[in-house]
């Protein structure tokens, strides 16, 4: 670690705690870059972790995720909450430069000092979203955010993955998109804590809500389990947003009272710790100066000198001297 780095981290963390947007942005860039300084950053941030409520917002393209996020953030601001927004696109490379674009996109909140908005991608990253997202959340948490919104920009598998990173998952649908097979296929019946049929001024909204409710009712739930409500919104006009915010608050309260919050966060921390450990190992195995160089082992597998299991054993045996 450079002398400059050693001094920079405590200063950055102190400024982030005071809510300095430039310091928050810099710390999240360190997460994006998988900087070696992160170890020190996380050690300094640690004791703060866990105050902010993490809200995941997901749904197929075209349901109005950005508009809904914007409307929900406006409502949270009216309630006096500080909000962080991470727009997560697992298919795009990291890009801190997307900040300006985000501020334009989230036009209503671009000049609001109590809203942090940031894009995060993960393609090609060693540890993936399970690695980077909790660390970015920890930064926003320390900066005093009451809520951190994770908005999925991607499609498909990423929706399910983002749900695993949130305390509360809001699934958005639009009229006509809620038919049974489609919903079941996307796995959205398992991941949602709260559902909203957005664009509810369009034809078919009532039917989509009814079908979704039927499907959710059929899913077996334990006694005392949370029963996901299904709301209707028109995010572009703000219709139904207050009711949606109330349901999200009700779920947050239930999470705390039922003990489910601690359980979900433990699962998340487990994946994060595992991702950090695996990334460290892979990084080490890729180094030519390591005892059991992975490239040399691979060559011996190709020539038939060792089988892949024996090679893996050698690699792991070398891990004994890790650290």
The count of residues interacting with a second copy (CB under 8 A) is: 54
By CB under 8 A, tell whether 312 contacts a second copy: yes
Q: Judged by CB, which is closer to a second copy: 113, or 322? A: 322
Out of 14, 277, 283, 287, the residue judged to bind a second copy by CB under 8 A:
277
58: left (phi over 0), alpha (psi -120 to 50) or beta: beta
Out of 1, 33, 46, 113, the residue judged to bind a second copy by CB under 8 A:
46
Out of 47, 124, 224, 259, the residue judged to bind a second copy by CB under 8 A:
47
Cα angle 245-248-253, degrees, rounded to a multiple of 5:
125
Out of 267, 287, 288, 289, the residue judged to bind a second copy by CB under 8 A:
267
Out of 27, 28, 45, 137, the residue judged to bind a second copy by CB under 8 A:
45
What is the edge-to-edge ordering of all strands in the sheet holding 194-197?
115-121, 83-89, 147-152, 53-58, 168-173, 194-197, 230-232
By CB under 8 A, tell whether 85 contacts a second copy: no
Out of 43, 95, 182, 237, the residue judged to bind a second copy by CB under 8 A:
43
By CB under 8 A, tell whether 299 contacts a second copy: yes
Helices 241-258 and 260-285 sit at what angle, rounded to 10 degrees? 80
By CB under 8 A, tell whether 306 contacts a second copy: yes
Residue 317, phi then psi, degrees to nearest 5: -60, -40
Place of tokens 């927004």: 85
Q: Judged by CB, which is closer to a second copy: 226, or 285? A: 285
How far apart CA 170 and CA 115 sit, in angstroms, is 20
By CB under 8 A, tell whether 219 contacts a second copy: no
Residue 23 near residue 15, CB atoms below 8 Å: yes
Place of tokens 């409500």: 229
**Residues of span 123-142 touching a second copy by CB under 8 A:** 134-135
Counting every residue written for the chain, the total comes to 323
By CB under 8 A, tell whether 48 contacts a second copy: yes
CA distances from 197 to 60, 106, 118, 208, 297 (A): 12, 21, 26, 7, 54
Residue 197 near residue 175, CB atoms below 8 Å: yes
**Residues of span 149-168 touching a second copy by CB under 8 A:** 156
Q: Provide, rounded to whole angstroms, the least separation between the CB of residue 140 and a second copy.
A: 16
Out of 112, 146, 260, 313, the residue judged to bind a second copy by CB under 8 A:
313
Q: What ranges in the chain are assigned the alpha helix state H? A: 3-17, 21-32, 38-45, 65-78, 99-105, 129-142, 157-163, 180-185, 188-191, 205-218, 241-258, 260-285, 294-302, 308-318
Q: Judged by CB, which is closer to a second copy: 30, or 106? A: 30
Q: Judged by CB, which is closer to a second copy: 91, or 214? A: 91
By CB under 8 A, tell whether 323 contacts a second copy: yes
Place of tokens 């994060």: 272
Q: Provide, rounded to whole angstroms, the least separation between the CB of residue 48 and a second copy.
A: 8
Out of 33, 108, 206, 274, the residue judged to bind a second copy by CB under 8 A:
274
**Residues of span 98-117 touching a second copy by CB under 8 A:** none
Q: What is the dihedral of CA 130, 135, 140, 143, to 10 degrees?
A: 170
**Residues of span 19-38 touching a second copy by CB under 8 A:** 38
**Residues in touch with a second copy (CB under 8 A):** 38-39, 42-43, 45-50, 134-135, 156, 262, 265-270, 272-274, 276-278, 280-282, 285, 294-295, 297-299, 301-302, 304, 306-313, 315-317, 319-323
């Amino acid at each position: 670690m450079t002398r400059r780095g050693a001094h920079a981290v405590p200063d950055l963390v102190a400024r982030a705690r005071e809510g300095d947007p430039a310091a928050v942005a810099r710390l999240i860039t360190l997460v994006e870059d998988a900087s070696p300084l992160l170890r020190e950053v996380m050690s300094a941030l640690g004791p703060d972790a866990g105050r902010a409520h993490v809200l995941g917002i997901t749904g197929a393209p075209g349901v109005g995720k950005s508009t809904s996020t914007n409307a929900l953030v406006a409502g949270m601001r009216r309630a006096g909450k500080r909000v962080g927004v991470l727009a997560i696109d697992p298919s795009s490379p990291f890009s801190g430069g997307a900040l300006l674009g985000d501020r334009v996109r989230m036009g209503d909140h671009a000049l609001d000092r109590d809203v942090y908005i940031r894009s995060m991608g993960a393609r090609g990253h060693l540890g993936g979203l399970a690695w980077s997202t909790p660390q970015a959340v920890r930064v926003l948490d320390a900066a005093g955010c009451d809520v951190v919104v994770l908005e999925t920009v991607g499609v498909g598998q990423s929706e399910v993955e983002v749900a695993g990173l949130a305390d509360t998952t809001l699934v958005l649908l639009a009229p006509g998109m809620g038919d049974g097979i489609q919903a079941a296929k996307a796995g959205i019946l398992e991941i949602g804590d709260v559902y909203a049929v957005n664009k509810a001024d369009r034809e078919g909204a009532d039917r989509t809500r009814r079908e979704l409710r039927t499907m959710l009712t059929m899913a077996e739930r334990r006694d005392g389990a949370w029963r996901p409500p299904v709301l209707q919104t028109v995010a572009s006009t703000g219709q139904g947003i207050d009711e949606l915010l109330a349901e999200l608050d009700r779920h947050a309260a239930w999470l705390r009272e039922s003990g489910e919050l601690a359980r979900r966060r433990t699962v998340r921390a487990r994946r994060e710790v595992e991702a950090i450990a695996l990334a460290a190992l892979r990084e080490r195995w890729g180094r030519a100066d390591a005892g059991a160089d992975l490239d040399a082992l691979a060559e011996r597998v190709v020539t038939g000198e060792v089988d892949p299991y024996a090679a893996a054993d050698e690699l792991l045996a070398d891990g004994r001297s890790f650290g």
